[in-house]
Amino acid sequence: MDWRALDEHILVKPGAKAGLAKRDPVSADLFPDRKAAEKRCGECADAINDLQDRLWAERTRALLVVLQGIDTAGKDGTLRGVFNACGPLGVAVTAFGRPSEEELAHDYLWRVHRAAPKRGMIGVFNRSHYEDVLVVKVRKLAPADAIEQRYAQINAFEKHLTENGVTILKFMLHISKDEQRERLQERLDDPGKHWKFNPGDLEDRALWDDYQAAYDTMLTRCSTAHAPWRVVPADKKWRRNAIIGAVVHGVLEEMKPDYPKPDWDPKSFTID
Ligand code: ADP
């Protein structure tokens, strides 16, 4: 499927309701065949690497990829599947965990703005400023009226970034409650995955409905023309990676980054 057709399925149209509950976390039609999806993802990952090289050579613009999703939704797996081919030079990953004392002493966007990618880079946020309208809302870590103001503040912040050369791609990795149970169970069953298990994840799972509601609200209120949200069916890891790879590739290609032309003639030099 052409990436634009794929994109139609996952885009949250600015101004429309996100309708998260009606979105299918499986969506088998989008990539019915696993082998074909894996092949496509590999091709996209290589193409993203090539385009990133040009983006860096140009050094005038940046791409910011925001990954959000409930625990086990696959944020780390997406990074590996889609961006590993780029290597560490062109991609800067920032994971946003619980804010430190220093971070809490500033406004909530302070740490986020510092991590925004510089010109030439692809920045990937593993969690993001959206935690400040998700976990913070569900667990009531800030006053309700302060949280209410954040949707507009985030939209303004993202507009500021886009007007300053940062293209923003936001992906919500959408998994079902059953799939999360399986993935958490795997973390208990497999000694190699014990380190990934955090009892706090079960507390968050108990708040599943509240999280879904908070996601639905932020998807609806923060899907803008300058930085729309995309809800990615993520119950199958290979389909998730293929979809995200295709969209990142499509968008980067449309940016047409190119190697700058030198203002000297390569033929005018001889190397002994
Ligand atoms: P992950 O679960 O992404 O692998 P961690 O185990 O470090 O990584 O978890 C990060 C935790 O930090 C999550 O529970 C998340 O909800 C929390 N977190 C992130 N941002 C904030 C924030 N602004 N305020 C409170 N908690 C946050």
The answer to whether residue 263 sits within a structural domain is no
Going by CA atoms, what residue is nearest to atom 12 of ligand 1? Answer: 97
Going by CA atoms, what residue is nearest to atom 15 of ligand 1? Answer: 97
**CATH no. for residue 192?**
3.40.50.300
pLDDT of residue 89: 83
Is 135 close to ligand 1, i.e. is its CB under 6 Å away?
A: yes
The answer to whether residue 264 sits within a structural domain is no
CB contact set of 222 (below 8 Å; sequence gap of 6+): 130, 133, 151, 154, 155, 158, 170, 229
Whether pTM exceeds 0.95:
yes
Long-range contacts of 255-261 (CB under 8 A, 24+ apart): 255/51, 255/55, 255/61, 255/63, 255/167, 257/51, 257/54, 257/55, 257/57, 257/58, 257/61, 258/54, 258/57, 258/58, 259/54, 259/57, 259/58, 260/57, 260/58
- Tally of domains in the chain: 1
pLDDT of residue 1: 84
Measured in residues, the chain has a length of 272
Is 96 close to ligand 1, i.e. is its CB under 6 Å away?
A: yes
pLDDT of residue 87: 80
Is 199 close to ligand 1, i.e. is its CB under 6 Å away?
A: no
pLDDT of residue 189: 96
The answer to whether residue 265 sits within a structural domain is no
The answer to whether residue 158 sits within a structural domain is yes
CB-CB neighbours of 193 under 10 Å:
13
For the CA of 108, the closest atom of ligand 1 is 23
Range of the domain at 237: 3-257
CB contact set of 248 (below 8 Å; sequence gap of 6+): 44, 48, 63, 65, 82, 169
CB contact set of 224 (below 8 Å; sequence gap of 6+): 14, 155, 158, 159
Q: Which residues of the chain carry a pLDDT beneath 70?
A: none
Integer CA distances (angstroms), 175 to 73, 74, 148, 206, 241, in order: 6, 9, 26, 15, 13
pLDDT digits (tens, 9 = 90+) for 234-244: 999 999 999 99
What is the best residue among 131, 136, 180, 202 to mutate for testing ligand 1's pocket, by most ligand atoms within 8 Å of CB?
Answer: 131
The answer to whether residue 199 sits within a structural domain is yes
The answer to whether residue 267 sits within a structural domain is no
Separation of alpha carbons 72 and 77, rounded Å: 10
The answer to whether residue 76 sits within a structural domain is yes
The answer to whether residue 272 sits within a structural domain is no
Is 99 close to ligand 1, i.e. is its CB under 6 Å away?
A: yes
Going by CA atoms, what residue is nearest to atom 9 of ligand 1? Answer: 97
